[in-house]
């Protein structure tokens, strides 16, 4: 039986509508400004993840929280997410 492989297919219906104003603002940035924006978003996401792990495991040291974060991120990468 042939058909699309769900692990290799992306469901376009799950995407949010395109925010044209956001795309216009991003296109107006220099490459360096875009890199800085990506770095800031990445730092924000890591902070959210660290906070979630801190609330879930309040007795763990920050080093252990960081290791949980790294394992979580590596698991996402391994699953292709």
pLDDT value of residue 38: 93
Distance (Å, whole) CA 63 – CA 77: 21
pLDDT at 4 over 60: no
Within a domain: 37: yes
Residues of the domain holding 63? 21-78
Among residues of the chain, what percentage have pLDDT more than 90?
64
Per-residue tokens: 52: 């979630």
pLDDT value of residue 1: 47
**Phi-psi domain of 78 (left: phi exceeds 0; alpha: psi -120 through 50; beta: other):** alpha
How are the residues of the chain apportioned to helix, strand and coil, as percentages rounded to the nearest 5? 70, 0, 30
pLDDT value of residue 66: 92
Per-chain mean pLDDT for the chain: 86
Report the domain count for the chain: 1
Per-residue tokens: 40: 């800031």
Model-level pTM greater than 0.75?
no
**Phi-psi domain of 80 (left: phi exceeds 0; alpha: psi -120 through 50; beta: other):** left
Within a domain: 12: no
Within a domain: 70: yes
Tell me the per-residue pLDDT of 45-80, one tens digit each, with 9 for 90 and over: 999 999 999 999 999 999 999 999 999 989 988 988
Within a domain: 28: yes
Within a domain: 33: yes
């Amino acid at each position: 039986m042939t058909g699309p492989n769900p692990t290799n297919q992306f469901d376009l219906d799950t995407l949010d509508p395109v925010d044209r104003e956001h795309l216009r603002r991003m296109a107006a940035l220099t490459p360096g400004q875009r890199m800085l924006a990506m770095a800031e978003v990445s730092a924000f996401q890591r902070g959210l993840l660290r906070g979630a792990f801190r609330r879930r495991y309040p007795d763990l040291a920050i080093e252990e929280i960081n290791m949980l974060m790294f394992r979580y991120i590596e698991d996402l990468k391994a699953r292709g997410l």
